[in-house]
Amino acid sequence: MIVNIQNTNERLSVYQALQDQIDEASRDKRQVGVLLIKLQDFNDLEAVVGFVSLELISKRIQARLLSVAKDHRSVIQLSLDTFIVVIPKMLNIGHLKIVAESLSRVIRSAVKFESESIELKPSIGISSSEDSEHNGQLIYENALIAMQRSYSEGSYCVAFEREFREQMKRDWDLKKDIELAIRDNQFELYFQPKVELKSMKVSGAEALIRWNHPSHGLITPHNFIPLSEQSGQIQIITSWVVKSAIQHLSDILKENPQFNLSVNISVNNLNSPDLVYLLQDTLSIWDVSADRLTIEVTETAIMSDQKSSLEQLEKIRALGVNISIDDFGTGYSSLAYFKHIPATEIKIDKSFIENLLVDPQDRNIVALIIFLAKQFELKVVAEGVETKTSVNEICNLQCDFAQGFYFSQPLPYNDFIEWMKSFSQ
Ligand code: C2E
Ligand code: CA
Ligand code: CA
């Protein structure tokens, strides 16, 4: 039977069922473990196989879970893609993780269906009666928090920890603060120079966002960009970044007409046509030629919704804006993509540059990426260049541009302008 968790009464009955198991266990001094399982991207399958088939696939998964859980009472199905498995006599969290692993294994093994072979991936959240105050509702909610974390981390299972709740509260507050930040001008762009290796001249810069938070101080993008992507606020952040970057760029171009500025674009920005209009309008307002601007997108961003992303990228390229593939080498890096992505540049991820001198494999990868890029007439940037020896090495490998702490950290605008003057002297 599927319990509809959206329905209040049914939801309460799930909490009660969990409470009953906890109470029963408490009498025998046992602990109860809960595994909340969600099948990733299950609803997307509907468009491929249709709803009736979706139900059949869900039933097969349920049967597999029952075969592992054995006791029918211990599997509750909440919806087509969400299940609870109750372990009435858990030993410790390690025990629950072992069960999660076997559940994950049975879910992952392909479901053969008509002519299709469907592979599903679960996200599993684990909680125990001990860290849920022996409360049926709390044990469910803790497993849910852990499951959401497992999904966002891309790992198959996560066990609940108390600090997850505090983290959620902090994230929640931060999301609220992002709106104020735009209004109160708390964001700032820092600039990190990009140097052309042949001439050792500054060819441009990458704009990197910083948040001057009134109570937390300077916050780096890793602490709020992923959150703003989840909440949809990345759209307003990108809009601010693009406007501010192009405004600064128009100033730099007055002194340095060959300068090129890169801005980072998130996966979510490629899903709507807004970005194309934003770029077009802002370039025209500041009278900046499109070829002075580069947008950086990661391979993973492009691949997550290939069709829509490629369409948007084609339109952006048609404006004359350059396109750089960021963190290159960490994603799919398949040759076939080169043919389709209208890129003008690739940036070799800093993890390869870091190991260039110590790991011959990484040196080979860098050499190969540079070779490939040249075949496709793409410019190559090495990022994360920290030492003179790395500069020499990438020069030997015929890399075109470099960026990294060796030249400069990302700097506030005025400091960056000063730095450029002193570098060219
Ligand atoms: P990214 O695009 O790969 O940016 C490069 C990151 O490497 C920057 O971190 C930069 O400060 C750092 N870095 C530069 N040189 C070196 C070096 O020599 N060694 C090392 N270890 N690191 C170096 P940052 O500024 O903290 O940005 C982190 C990430 O946040 C960026 O990675 C980018 O993905 C994202 N990001 C930054 N600004 C924006 C933005 O305006 N919009 C969006 N959507 N994402 C942004
Ligand atoms: Ca970047
Ligand atoms: Ca990068």
Per residue in 272-315, pLDDT (tens digit) is 889 999 999 999 999 999 999 999 999 888 777 778 888 999 99
The answer to whether residues 353 and 382 touch, using CB atoms and an 8 Å cutoff, is yes
The answer to whether residues 315 and 273 touch, using CB atoms and an 8 Å cutoff, is yes
Position 102 confidence tier, pLDDT thresholds 50, 70, 90: very high
pLDDT of residue 334: 64
Position 72 confidence tier, pLDDT thresholds 50, 70, 90: low
pLDDT of residue 303: 76
**What are the strands, taking DSSP E only, across 15-149?**
31-39, 75-79, 82-90, 111-113, 116-118, 122-128
Average pLDDT over residues 12-31: 94
Give me the sheet containing 122-128, strands edge to edge: 75-79, 82-90, 31-39, 122-128, 157-159
**What are the strands, taking DSSP E only, across 376-424?**
379-383, 401-403, 411-412
pLDDT of residue 24: 94
Q: Report the distance separating Cα 76 and Cα 258, nearest Å.
A: 64
Does this model's pTM top 0.85? My answer is no
Position 44 confidence tier, pLDDT thresholds 50, 70, 90: confident
Position 333 confidence tier, pLDDT thresholds 50, 70, 90: low
Output the CA 201–ligand 1 centroid distance in Å. 22
Position 332 confidence tier, pLDDT thresholds 50, 70, 90: low
**What are the strands, taking DSSP E only, across 179-226?**
187-196, 201-213, 217-219
Pocket of ligand 1 (CB under 6 A): 192, 208-209, 220-222, 225, 241, 264, 266, 296, 326-327, 350, 384-386, 404-405, 410
pLDDT of residue 377: 92
Q: Which ligand is nearest to the CA of 192?
A: 1
The answer to whether residues 419 and 387 touch, using CB atoms and an 8 Å cutoff, is no
Distances (CA, A) of 380 to 153, 169, 341, 350, 402: 30, 42, 15, 13, 8
Q: Report residue 402 CA to chain centroid gap.
A: 25
Give the nearest ligand 1 atom to 347 CA: 3
Which ranges of 184-233 would DSSP assign to H, the alpha helix? 225-231
Domains in the chain, please, with CATH? 8-161 (3.30.70.270), 174-423 (3.20.20.450)
- Write out pLDDT tens, residues 229-256: 988 899 999 999 999 999 999 999 999 9
Q: Whose CA is nearest to atom 25 of ligand 1?
A: 208
pLDDT of residue 60: 93
Q: Whose CA is nearest to atom 30 of ligand 1?
A: 221
Mean pLDDT (the chain) is: 92
